[in-house]
Structure 1
């Protein structure tokens, strides 16, 4: 199953007639058995985004297994995102205070108190991509990773490790 196979489901969601609860219960997604957080951030929020379809359209979604993992801060320093959004992480990193300020207040409090994001981003093992490469890539959470990089650069509080959903083959 590829992102393009979900076009009818995405069209129903886009028309406003499909809440997240109804979306995740759709029989087309039953074989995935993905965590709700991944299903919502990846497929519900971005499954029909042209850039996502371009960057991740070759992945067989049934082959991806998701785990919540703890990733060292250093691993995020050069982690790329999809080719269609190249450079966007650094754009967010240029002004991390702004990108936290435009979010709900609890996001900023979480950064200040814990030095990390409130909601784990979605990363993918680059061996799932075409062409296959090594390492991890930011699939969703480009703003969060940009804020992390910017806070590091500005000497603001950043934890040594961060949770992220990681998709593996």
Structure 2
């Protein structure tokens, strides 16, 4: 299953007929067992956004598993985003205080107090992409990563590590190999 397979679901979401709870419960998503934060940021909010579909439309959604991981701040310094929105992270990094503030006073205050974001961005293992590569890529959360880069560059308070949802190839379990009996 990929983003194009979810077209009818996306149309219903665009029409405003689906709350996130109803979206999440739709049978079309039965093969996708993702955390709510990932499902909301990836599919509900961006699943039909043109540049997003251009970059990630080929992904087999049911073959991606998500874990909340701790990532060192320097790892975000050169992390790319999708080709369709290349340069967007650096755009946000040019004025990190402004971009944090437009998200609301609580977001700006959280950056000042904690040196990190309030909601974990989504990163994807680049081995899942076409063309494949190594490392991680910012899938969703370009503003957050831009603010982080800008704050680092301007020597503002930044935590040494940050939480992020990371999508990786789902591991297949071989049920035949779990049999330890001898013939």
Distance in 1 of aligned mates of 2:51 and 2:125: 18
> TM-score when scaled to structure 2?
0.91
Q: CA deviation at 1:113?
A: 1.0
Matched, 1:83 2:83: yes
CA displacement, residues 68-125 of structure 1 (integer Å, 9 cap, x when unaligned): 0000001000000000000000000000011011112111111111100000000000
SS at match of 1:79: coil
- Aligned residue in 2 for 1:62: 62
Uncovered stretches (5+) of structure 1, i.e. residues with no partner: none
Larger radius of gyration: 2
Matches within 5 A, 1:46-61: 46-61=46-61
Distance in 2 of aligned mates of 1:29 and 1:52: 18
For the aligned residues, what is the CA RMSD? Answer: 0.5
Q: CA deviation at 1:63?
A: 0.3
SS at match of 1:31: coil
Q: Which runs of 4+ in 1 moved over 3 A?
A: none
- Aligned residue in 2 for 1:98: 98
Distance in 2 of aligned mates of 1:104 and 1:33: 31
SS at match of 1:59: coil
- Aligned residue in 1 for 2:174: none
Distance in 1 of aligned mates of 2:125 and 2:103: 28
Uncovered stretches (5+) of structure 2, i.e. residues with no partner: 170-183
Distance in 2 of aligned mates of 1:88 and 1:112: 23
Bigger mean CA deviation after superposition, 63-72 or 99-108: 99-108
> TM-score when scaled to structure 1?
0.99
Distance in 2 of aligned mates of 1:76 and 1:98: 19
Matches within 5 A, 1:10-29: 10-29=10-29
Distance in 2 of aligned mates of 1:111 and 1:97: 9
